Amino acid sequence: MTAVDHSTGYQPSPDHRDFRAAVADFARSRLAPHVEQWNAEHRLPLEAVRAMAEFGLFGLAGSEEYGGAGDFSSLCIAIEEIGYVDQSLGITLSAAVGLGSNPIATFGSVAQRDRHLPDLIAGRALASFGLTEPEAGTDAGATRTRAERVDDGWVINGAKQFITNSGTELTSVITITARTGTATDGTPEITAFLVPVGTPGLTVEPAYDKLGWYASDTHPLNLDGVRVGDDQVLGEVGQGYKQFLAILDDGRVAIAALALGCIRACRDLAVDYAKTRQTFGRPIGARQGIAFQIADLDVMAHAAELLIYSAAALRDRMGHDQHNARDRQEFKRAASIAKLYATESAVTATRIAGQVFGGYGFMNEYPVARFYRDAKILEIGEGTSEVQRLLIARGLGLPVE
């Protein structure tokens, strides 16, 4: 498809422009020719993961100390450009970095960072983010997985679900939240733990049969008497819920970037098709009913880009400092706004593109059908649209519950 110039009032740095061009070329030349096959096979292609690792994509937001680039905006650019080609591969990168290695980079001890980050940043290994449970999704504070103190550490029992990158042969560690007691205000005390793959009692259940994201890896997990030492506590005991909420703010901007890739792909596919498909002797793009809808896709892409990269710039300014409350609150609001707008726009964009393609848009041989399947989860993962509206309303000072 022909990429449309999507420049806006947002002005990326020359380095970011060059980086975007390089990632776009990589995605179109190395990944695009194979994405239909990979999705048809319903598998995460490790050859694609290794190619992205070789290109350096897993280290974009990582600390320079461990071989990373330390640039969250570059990560968002990469997720967007990979997602333009295939959403499954885009979420693989997003989850591996924004949710996988980020908790270790942000809250890990020196020993934990030294142990895990070199391989994660190099893409030799993948990490997973185990927050969601069968009865604790949006209400993550309702976590039922428990960790009980024993003389030599902790014993964890429980279950997690919808965990991305948890069942690959590259997966090395999973960050798990578990209840470790009750706080003084009566709320659950939640702590985060690092559970290496292969730990006795950790079972990766069979992969889900999903509506979309066919070429990504998603499994439920079972933890039955999983023993970990004190050195596998991530951050402070009792601070796990707060830590994971901070990580989710980053994940929301990353998901928004993935959604922007979807919007742009739908726009470009629709433009190309509307120029060539003829009805009643004229290209369908000559008809206002079609042209106006495609124009709306361009508006969505421009608006989403501004929201996403202004939020990403805030994140880069903040770095891994979690103690600047003012910057953190500003970023949290910007992340929710970007996530809400971009993901809901992506769902709309796939519907419009499908309508432009008509009956062909319902056929799996056309990419718009794949984007249509993949888009819905964007409104759910990393906090539903309803949660984003709640957070935005609270940020305005409304006493919403």
Q: Which segments of 277-324 does DSSP mark as H helices, in order?
A: 288-318
| C-alpha to C-alpha distance for 105 and 85, rounded to whole angstroms | 28
Report pLDDT for 152.
86
> Is the Cβ–Cβ distance between 305 and 6 less than 8 Å?
yes
Least confident stretch, 24-28, 100-104, 316-320: 316-320
For residue 401, what pLDDT band results from cuts at 50, 70 and 90?
confident
Q: What is the mean pLDDT of residues 272-296?
A: 97
Active-site choice (80, 81, 344, 382)? 382
For the question of residue 36 being annotated catalytic, the response is no
Structural domains of the chain ordered from first start: 14-126 (1.10.540.10), 128-237 (2.40.110.10), 241-395 (1.20.140.10)
User: Average pLDDT of the chain?
Assistant: 94
| C-alpha to C-alpha distance for 10 and 308, rounded to whole angstroms | 10
| Joined tokens for residue 388 | 């984003």
Buried-exposed string 158-187: b where 16+ CB fall within 10 A, e elsewhere: bbbbbbbbbbbebbbbbbbbbbbeeeeeee
Hunting for tokens 């939640």 — which residue is that?
Answer: 190
3-state secondary structure of 190: strand
Report pLDDT for 3.
62
Distance in angstroms between the alpha carbons of the first and the last residue of the chain: 46
Asked whether the predicted pLDDT for residue 325 surpasses 80, the reply is: no
3-state secondary structure of 277: coil
Asked whether the predicted pLDDT for residue 4 surpasses 90, the reply is: no
Residue (of 338, 351, 337) closest to 395 by Cα position: 337
Report pLDDT for 320.
59
Least confident stretch, 86-100, 141-155, 294-308: 141-155
Report pLDDT for 371.
98
344 sits in which H/E element: helix 325-357
| C-alpha to C-alpha distance for 265 and 100, rounded to whole angstroms | 26
How many of the other CB atoms lie within 10 Å of CB of 198?
9
How many alpha carbons fall within 13 Å on the CB side of residue 173? Answer: 26
How many alpha carbons fall within 13 Å on the CB side of residue 121? Answer: 23
How many of the other CB atoms lie within 10 Å of CB of 114?
12
What are the distances in angstroms from CA 384 to CA 72, 163, 268? 22, 16, 27
The percentage of the chain sitting over the pLDDT mark of 70, rounded to a whole number, equals 96
Q: What is the mean pLDDT of residues 366-380?
A: 98
Residues in Cβ contact with 345 at an 8 Å cutoff, skipping those fewer than 6 apart = 259, 263, 300, 303, 304
Report pLDDT for 5.
55
Cα angle value 215/359/374 (rounded, 5°) = 25
Asked whether the predicted pLDDT for residue 205 surpasses 70, the reply is: yes
* Model confidence pLDDT, tens digit, residues 176-190: 999 999 988 888 999
Percentages helix, strand, coil for the chain (3-state, rounded to 5) are 55, 15, 25
Residue (of 144, 146, 112) closest to 127 by Cα position: 112
Residue (of 63, 88, 60, 62) closest to 76 by Cα position: 60
Name the pTM for this structure.
0.95
* Model confidence pLDDT, tens digit, residues 115-149: 999 999 999 999 999 999 998 877 867 899 999 99
Report pLDDT for 137.
76
Q: Which segments of 12-109 does DSSP mark as H helices, in order?
A: 14-26, 35-40, 46-54, 72-85, 87-94, 102-107
| Joined tokens for residue 229 | 């030492």
| Joined tokens for residue 389 | 């509206």
